[in-house]
Amino acid sequence: MNILIMGPAGAGKGTMSDLILQAYDIPHISTGDMLRENVANGTELGKEAKSYMDAGKLVPDDVINAMVEKRLQEPDCQKGYLLDGFPRTLVQAKAFEEIAAKIGKPVEAVLALEVDFEILKERVTGRRVCPKCGAIYHISNFPPKVEGVCDKCGSPLKQRADDTVEKLTQRMKEYDASTKPVIDFYDEKGLVTHLDASQKPDVVFGRIKEALAKID
């Protein structure tokens, strides 16, 4: 089962990815995490990526594409994959079509999580994270037992620097310009399920299961 999950910041990609991982036993591959791991482990691709990052430049598509291609051939991807954060642009999507065909892992479903801006704003600005253990809370939807303190490890919670209305507005503009054309690209192939991700997680996941049940 080869799946892409897409949606703006605050749409719930992390929550849905965790549920898909548990239900379908396929790896959740975040390209951001993959990039950081390659750099941290000093792989050849990681060293190449780091040279661009150190120079303050974006890592070029061919390096990211090569990382994705290598990652999808790891043993844990035998049953499929859930790609998060890739492809971000139409250029990447077209390149990925060739990569996926070459390694025999074509995209079978694209899950597009859609949420109104006002709801995203409330979700993002209310988010709090634990810098020590990575636990995520929300001041109204999922507050910690003690305000400002992580339930799991007792560390002070923080608000991410980019969890602001200004940053969200900027990211939405980038998403509309770059990623929506990717969704349109897969829509033309009949692969996209548009999901109202403003609903409760169990409702959204129920729709996801219905969509994935249609994969042969």
Dihedral Cα 150, 154, 156, 158, nearest 10 deg: -30
Of 94, 122, 118, 119, residue with least CA distance to 107: 94
Question: What three-state secondary structure class fits 127?
Answer: strand
Neighbours of 109 (CB within 10 A): 20
Active-site residue, from 13, 71, 123, 128: 13
127 noted as active-site residue = yes
Catalytic entry in 88, 121, 158, 180: 88
* 71 part of the active site: no
Backbone φ and ψ of 121, nearest 5°: -60, -45
Catalytic residue among 105, 121, 132, 160: 160
Beta bridge partners of 110: 4, 192
Catalytic, 209? Answer: no
Spell out the residues 6+ positions from residue 130 whose beta carbon is closer than 8 angstroms to its own.
Answer: 136, 137, 150, 152, 153, 155, 157, 158
Residues 211/193, Cβ–Cβ less than 8 Å: yes
Residue 50 to residue 36: CA distance in whole angstroms:
9
Residue 121 is among the residues annotated as catalytic for this protein: no
Q: Is 88 a catalytic residue?
A: yes
Residues with catalytic function? 13, 88, 127, 160, 171
